[in-house]
Amino acid sequence: MKIVVYLLSFFIPVLGFIIGAIFYVSDGRDHKHVGKMCVLIALWPVIVVLICFFLAGAAWLVFW
């Protein structure tokens, strides 16, 4: 179950934030850990896309 949730968090970051918030506020130490990991995993694709946009914009300015 954890692996499926982690994969969903990575490929669909919005869903990862939602699942992470739900798991984080639920009871249980294991659920809090899974919720925190979902949010962290969901942040990675967002950060990578932002870096790619920044690099593409910088490259466009340099080579234009």
pLDDT tens digits for 47-56?
A: 999 999 999 9
pLDDT at 28 over 90: no
> Exposure of 18 by Cβ count < 10 A (0-12 exposed, 13-18 middle, 19+ buried)?
middle
pLDDT number for residue 29: 87
For tokens 């499926």, the residue is 4
The boundaries of the domain holding residue 59 are 2-63
Banded model confidence at residue 63, pLDDT cuts 50, 70, 90: confident
- Its pTM stands at 0.82
pLDDT number for residue 27: 87
Number of domains, the chain: 1
Mean pLDDT over residues 38-47, rounded?
96
